Amino acid sequence: MITVIKIAIIGFGVIGRGVAEVLLEKKEEIQNRIGEYSIVAVCEKDGVAYNPDGLGWEVLKMKGGDFSEGSTVDIIETAEFDVAIEVTPTDIKKGEPGLTHISECLEKGSHVITSNKGPLVVAYSKLQELAERNEVQLMFEATVGGGMPLIKLVRNDLAGNEIDSIRGILNGTCNYILSRMESEKLTYNQVLTEAKELGIAEADPTYDVEGIDSAAKVVIIANALLNMDITYDDVEIEGITAITPEAFEVAMERDYTIRLIGEVSRETGSLKVSPRLISTHHPLAVTGTLNAVQIRTDLAKDIVVIGRGAGQKETSSAIISDLIEIFRK
């Protein structure tokens, strides 16, 4: 029986700090739902902060030299915590360092909540098996669609439905670029710099514009929500770099727009990311940095969700909802 839920935050960049802030700011409301908790450790590349009695607001002021020497792996091995929030930068090819962090936390019997796509793309079924074997949960709402609910929506609220397909806009940076090209008649290169300034692009924005980030999300959706067993190489990928303002003109004459769509379909067997023509009246024709997903099911038929796919507070929303799901009283 846990008396105080001990939380370790692994990765203390924009997302880690955002989650810590929400945990401190909304402590009373969240505690009403899950019981008492404290942040006992934060780990980042320059060092760690650890206090078994709990860290407070001071942790948000800490920078480089303020952290104690020590590595994330030391904390995972020696500190006592019930749940790790793993939010280090993603590496879609090898999944590291998140894969090691998540595996070791599950192995030692800690629940894990992550926004890190790489480890799930590389080793989803292995990590799920590890979680089951250690009787803990691996939660990852933040990996797809940020603040837009999708994983728990399908698993909980659509439980009992067969999921036929999930398709939609899974990358806010590309959607922003395409929307601006459409409304301002700008070229791809003119909008790219603007998109980078929004702060939601990947560290390497080619991950966004070449469709790599969307493909990673397609892999997570297929494995986690459609019970498939696919890898990144199974996804056919085409990005948005070849789209011209002229292509928008032709599309718009027929009342269509162009959007980068990720698709997983059991019916057609399609696993794909590519620019597609979408009717301007279709609910997926969202603008700006929004994400939008259409879930096709046997009982509830079509469901569409629209929301913010990235951002500090938006991603924290997904992480906090996972925390509440694990420890709900």
CB of 327 to ligand HSE, least distance (A): 25
Give the C-alpha distances (Å, rounded to integers) separating 277 from 38, 127, 208, 280: 48, 37, 19, 9
In the set 11, 18, 97, 172, which binds ligand HSE (CB under 6 A)? 172
**Closer of 107 and 238 to ligand HSE (Cβ):** 238
Q: Where in 207-226 is the site for ligand HSE (CB under 6 A)?
A: 208, 213
CB of 200 to ligand HSE, least distance (A): 5
Active site residue 217: yes
In the set 59, 200, 235, 318, which binds ligand HSE (CB under 6 A)? 200
∠ CA(297), CA(303), CA(306), 5° rounding? 140
From 195-203, 246-254, 264-272, 296-304, give the range in contact with ligand HSE by CB under 6 A.
195-203
C-beta of residue 38 within 8 angstroms of C-beta of residue 54: yes
C-beta of residue 31 within 8 angstroms of C-beta of residue 37: yes
> 230: which residues sit within 8 A by CB, 6+ positions away?
219, 222, 223, 271
C-beta of residue 12 within 8 angstroms of C-beta of residue 44: yes
**Closer of 221 and 310 to ligand HSE (Cβ):** 310
**Closer of 40 and 319 to ligand HSE (Cβ):** 319
In the set 116, 171, 223, 294, which binds ligand HSE (CB under 6 A)? 171
290 vs 142: CA distance, rounded Å: 15
CA atoms within 13 Å, Cβ hemisphere of 308:
12
From 65-73, 168-176, 244-252, 273-281, give the range in contact with ligand HSE by CB under 6 A.
168-176
Beta bridge partners of 314: none
> In the bound complex, which residue of the shown chain has the CB atom lying closest to ligand HSE?
173
270 vs 275: CA distance, rounded Å: 14
Task: Answer yes or no whether residue 179 interacts with ligand HSE by CB under 6 A.
Answer: no
How many residues lie near ligand HSE (CB under 6 A)? 11
Question: 17: helix, coil or strand?
Answer: helix
CB of 217 to ligand HSE, least distance (A): 7
Burial 156-174 (b: 16+ CB within 10 A, else e): eebeebebbbbbbbbbbbb
Beta strands in the chain (DSSP E): 5-10, 37-44, 47-55, 83-86, 111-114, 138-139, 163-169, 236-237, 256-265, 271-279, 290-297, 302-308
**Closer of 201 and 218 to ligand HSE (Cβ):** 201
Q: Where in 128-147 is the site for ligand HSE (CB under 6 A)?
A: 146
Taking each helix axis from N to C end, the angle separating 245-253 and 172-184, rounded to the nearest 10 degrees, works out to 70
Distance of alpha carbon 119 from the chain centroid: 12
CB of 220 to ligand HSE, least distance (A): 11
CB of 235 to ligand HSE, least distance (A): 16
Among residues 93, 108, 196, 217, the one annotated as catalytic is 217
In the set 37, 180, 309, 327, which binds ligand HSE (CB under 6 A)? 309
From 68-76, 201-209, 233-241, 247-255, give the range in contact with ligand HSE by CB under 6 A.
201-209
Would you name the residues annotated as active-site residues?
217
Q: Which residues bind ligand HSE (CB under 6 A)?
A: 146, 171-173, 200-202, 208, 213, 309-310
